[in-house]
Amino acid sequence: MNKTSLLDRIRGNRLTLPLAALVLILVFDAFYAPSFFKIRIQDGHLYGNLIDVLNNGAPLALVALGMTLVIATGGVDLSVGAVIAISAAMGAVLINPALGNELISNAILTRDATNTPLPIILLATLAAGSLCGFWNGFLVSRARIQPIVATLILMVAGRGIAQLITNGQIMTIYYTPYFWFGNGYILGLPVSIYIVAAVFLLAWVLVRKTSIGMFIESVGINAKASFYSGISEKNVKLLAYTFCGFCAAVAGLILSSYVHSADGNNNGLNYELDAILAVVMGGTLMTGGRFSLLASVIGAMVIWTFALTVYTLGVPANALLAAKAVLVMIVILLYSDVAKRLTGRLFRRKGA
Amino acid sequence: MARRFASLLIKNGTLLITFAIFILEYFIGGQLYPAMKQPQVFFNLFINNGSLLLVSIGMTLVIISGGIDLSVGGLLALTSVASAALLKLGVSPAIVIPLMIVMGIAFGGAMGSIIHFLKVQPFIATLMGLFFARGLAYIISLRSVTITNSFYKYLALTPLHIPFLSKVYIYIPTLVAPIMLLAAFFLAKYTRFGRTVYAIGNNEQSALLMGLPVTRTKISVYVFSGLCSALAGIVFSISLLAGYGQFATGMELDAIAAAVIGGTLLTGGVGNIFGTLFGVLISGTIVSILQFNGTLSSWWTRMSVGVLTLIFIGIQSFFYSRERRSQ
């Protein structure tokens, strides 16, 4: 087994495909859109398309982290987009300076002030998202509803909840310190990158330095067998969904801070598709089992590089949705048994 | 005799509960808002929910076969935009309508084939179908496309009076859903195809070993759902005289909810087409009560439908465990 050739090791590594896709897109950019690589420094901050990929891709990378764990347990979370909307709405409502007894006027609404201290806003937003995740996990693990349906309920009802929180309005945020999460810079790099790194580190320590990661994988491979070997399969699932909700809440925080508003209908729209795409691209099987957090993050970056490339080329943004759907299909087919058998046969013939 | 009656009750328990809830809900609505007692309000349920009913019929068959179809809303929007765009170009409705039906069938067939031959999970394949269809709809037109075709206008605006009831009417497209309902009921109950669908939903492996045509049936179920969605898209575009990529967002859940409330088991193998009808009527009644109230916002509909679905999943698991014990 030690004598596996380099080619086989590369082929077996789950980072290979997302990295190859990333390189492929970047090489394409090098020829057709050289401006993609331009990075300039302005006011001590780095600007450019590559930085945009990292900055815009941050929420998706966060959601993909949570989604990875959920998919690894053999489930799926379709409600991430709605959870993003809920946490964004939560943040906007708590900031809203007009909530007091004062007469609501435009001057009050657009004031650079907050109704609640920032730490409490953060806690409330993250708690709201985690609660949504907990609810999903409860439905899946305790009520035994299939993951698709359990999370579909929140996917649709969640946007209603978000609108209920904001009273059906699109809330604009004028509180400057809140913008820091989506628009701030530390050492020339966007803050969102550091947030992703922190959550990634948290997740990595959780799954690789404790036994939780192995529990998740074993539940995904065979829930019954893990139950009989003494793993609390229910609590593992509950944890995975709660973490996914938490990640979506952080993403909602960044997104609402980035666009300075909370819109129940449009915050985090179609994020469920993108997150599934990122995870699948990272080589985590939809049926559950082995997973890689880093590969999912790279998958998220591939999606945003693809998206920004498409924008740079001047393709209308609305065509992107269909293109992404096709991309997911291709990636899923690449990982399917049919494709594996085909490539396996191809390589064996070459080796023989 | 008593035992047979009891088993009948258990077997149709969810259907009876659904029916009772619909009657109760309608009665409460009538008590709260006397105007709801008019027969026209009842027929309005069919006028307003025609496309949801169509989509739910297809969804019910798919769920009975053990799958799920999340692409229905997207396909509906795509059909509406595509037909509106074609009509704007001056293509005759006699060509547009069959073309849309063929498109729906092809779409469903493609998804069914991907699910069956490439072994992709149904919800992934149809989720991709949803985004693909919506993406295509946006490519055709970003804005809402209005329909000015005279035939469509005739269909949309000519009331059909119900005999024996004065001043009560429906529209011609309203008839499509009940006809499909009867067709689907016949298909599911009295044909070999229908029994195969139930068998696959109960256990695909044993259905295959019994020599049933699993491949053909599984793909046909998605084809049927595609057909229903296309018809729903046509009905939808006729009733609004427009096509738009954002039509019917979230209709997937409404359709799944209608099927579940109607007693279809999400794990497949158990279900009733007529239950779905009452599922649709229940959510339609919620909407009309909210409309009669006038002060409650529309998102309450979504939330109450979600809650109802949840409750019915609970009731189902209760009845299902009962049935197992009685066997």
Model confidence pLDDT, tens digit, residues B246-287: 888 878 888 988 998 888 888 888 888 989 999 999 888 988
**In the predicted model, what is the mean pLDDT of chain A?**
84
For A60-73, what is the mean pLDDT?
94
What is the spatial distance between Cα B178 and Cα A287, in angstroms, rounded to a whole number? Answer: 39
> What are the structure tokens assigned to A331, written together?
């990636």
Would you place residue A335 in the very low, low, confident or very high pLDDT band (cuts 50, 70, 90)?
confident
Contact B123 A156 (CB under 8 A): no
Please name the residue that has the structure tokens 């990378």: A61
What are the boundaries of each domain within chain A?
Answer: 51-312
Of A64, A257, A99, the residue nearest A172 (C-alpha): A257
For chain A, the maximum distance between any two Cα atoms, rounded to a whole number of angstroms, is: 82
| Best residue in A67, A136, A153, A271 for a mutation probing chain B (most B CBs within 10 Å) | A153
- 3-class DSSP assignment, residue A190: strand
Say whether pLDDT at B193 is over 50: yes
Which of A234-243, A312-321, B52-61, B228-237 bottoms out in mean pLDDT, i.e. has the lowest?
Answer: A312-321
Instruction: Give the closest-approach CA distance of A251 to chain B in angstroms.
Output: 22
CB B315 within 8 A of CB B16: no
Quote the pLDDT of residue B108. 96
Quote the pLDDT of residue B196. 94
Q: Is A334 on the interface with B (CB under 8 A)?
A: no
Residues of B in contact with A156 (CB under 8 A): 250, 252-253, 302, 305-306
A196, HSE (Cβ side, Cα atoms, 13 Å): 27
Q: Is A329 on the interface with B (CB under 8 A)?
A: yes
Model confidence pLDDT, tens digit, residues A128-166: 999 999 999 999 998 888 888 888 888 878 888 888 888
Q: How far is CA A254 from CA A61, A70, A250, in A?
A: 12, 22, 6
Q: How far is CA B9 from CA B17, B21, B217, B263, B319, in A?
A: 10, 16, 30, 13, 10
Contacts of A244 (CB under 8 A, 6+ apart): A63, A66, A67, A69, A70, A77, A80, A133, A136
* Fold of the domain built from segment(s) A51-312: ABC transporter involved in vitamin B12 uptake, BtuC (1.10.3470)
Q: How far is CA A209 from CA A202, A282, B155, in A?
A: 10, 21, 66
Q: Is A191 on the interface with B (CB under 8 A)?
A: no
Say whether pLDDT at B37 is over 60: yes
Say whether pLDDT at B192 is over 50: yes
Q: Is B126 on the interface with A (CB under 8 A)?
A: no
Show which of residues 171-210 on chain B sit within 8 Å of chain A, judged by CB atoms: none
Say whether pLDDT at A318 is over 80: no
Model confidence pLDDT, tens digit, residues A267-286: 888 888 889 888 988 888 88
| Best residue in A132, A149, A165, A336 for a mutation probing chain B (most B CBs within 10 Å) | A149
Residues of A in contact with B267 (CB under 8 A): 146
For B149-174, what is the mean pLDDT?
84
Contact A319 B303 (CB under 8 A): no
Q: Backbone phi, then psi, for B124, in 5-degree steps? A: -65, -50
For B36-42, what is the mean pLDDT?
85
When CB atoms are compared, the residue of A155, A321, A337 closest to B119 is A337
Contacts of A48 (CB under 8 A, 6+ apart): A37, A38, A39, A40
Quote the pLDDT of residue A1. 46
Q: What is the DSSP string of B14-27?
A: HHHHHHHHHHHHHH
What is the spatial distance between Cα B99 and Cα B93, in angstroms, rounded to a whole number? Answer: 9
Q: What is the DSSP string of A209-272?
A: SSTHHHHHHHHHH-HHHHHHTT--HHHHHHHHHHHHHHHHHHHHHHHHHHHTEE-TTTTTTTHH
- A195/B39: higher pLDDT: A195
- B3/B227: higher pLDDT: B227
Contact B124 A163 (CB under 8 A): no
Quote the pLDDT of residue B87. 93
Say whether pLDDT at A101 is over 80: no
Residues of B in contact with A319 (CB under 8 A): 135, 138-139
| Region of residue B268 (left: phi > 0; alpha: psi -120 to 50; beta: else) | left
For B158-179, what is the mean pLDDT?
85
Contact B138 A319 (CB under 8 A): yes
Contact A276 B127 (CB under 8 A): yes
Contact B317 A156 (CB under 8 A): no
> What are the structure tokens assigned to B261, written together?
């409330």
Residue in chain B nearest A329 by alpha carbon? B128
Say whether pLDDT at A352 is over 50: no
Say whether pLDDT at B210 is over 70: yes
Q: How many helices (H) and strands (E) does chain B have?
A: 15, 4
Would you place residue A105 in the very low, low, confident or very high pLDDT band (cuts 50, 70, 90)?
low
Contact A152 B138 (CB under 8 A): no
- A187/A105: higher pLDDT: A187
Which of A94-103, A270-279, A335-344 bottoms out in mean pLDDT, i.e. has the lowest?
Answer: A94-103
**CB atoms inside a 10 Å sphere around CB A280:** 22
Model confidence pLDDT, tens digit, residues B99-130: 999 999 999 999 999 999 888 888 888 988 98
Contacts of A252 (CB under 8 A, 6+ apart): A59, A83, A84, A85, A86, A87, A88, A91, A125, A129, A267, A268
For chain B, the maximum distance between any two Cα atoms, rounded to a whole number of angstroms, is: 65
Quote the pLDDT of residue A10. 63
Please name the residue that has the structure tokens 């935009």: B81
CB B141 within 8 A of CB B10: no
Tallying the residues shown for chain B, one arrives at 327
Quote the pLDDT of residue A114. 76
Which uninterrupted H or E stretch holds A186?
strand A185-186
What is the spatial distance between Cα B313 and Cα B319, in angstroms, rounded to a whole number? Answer: 10
Verdict on whether the full-model pTM lies above 0.90: no
| Best residue in A156, A274, A336 for a mutation probing chain B (most B CBs within 10 Å) | A156
Contact A153 B306 (CB under 8 A): yes
Residue in chain A nearest B67 by alpha carbon? A148
Instruction: Give the closest-approach CA distance of B128 to chain A in angstroms.
Output: 5
Contact A322 B139 (CB under 8 A): yes
**In the predicted model, what is the mean pLDDT of chain B?**
87
When CB atoms are compared, the residue of A157, A318, A337 closest to B139 is A318
CB A324 within 8 A of CB A273: yes
Quote the pLDDT of residue B149. 87
Would you place residue B199 in the very low, low, confident or very high pLDDT band (cuts 50, 70, 90)?
very high
Q: What one-character DSSP code corresponds to residue A103?
A: P
Which of A125-134, A166-175, B41-50, B134-143 bottoms out in mean pLDDT, i.e. has the lowest?
Answer: A166-175
What are the boundaries of each domain within chain B?
Answer: 42-249+266-272
Please name the residue that has the structure tokens 């979370």: A77
When CB atoms are compared, the residue of A273, A318, A326 closest to B138 is A318
Contact A148 B68 (CB under 8 A): yes
Size of interface A-B (CB pairs under 8 A): 112
Contact A156 B250 (CB under 8 A): yes
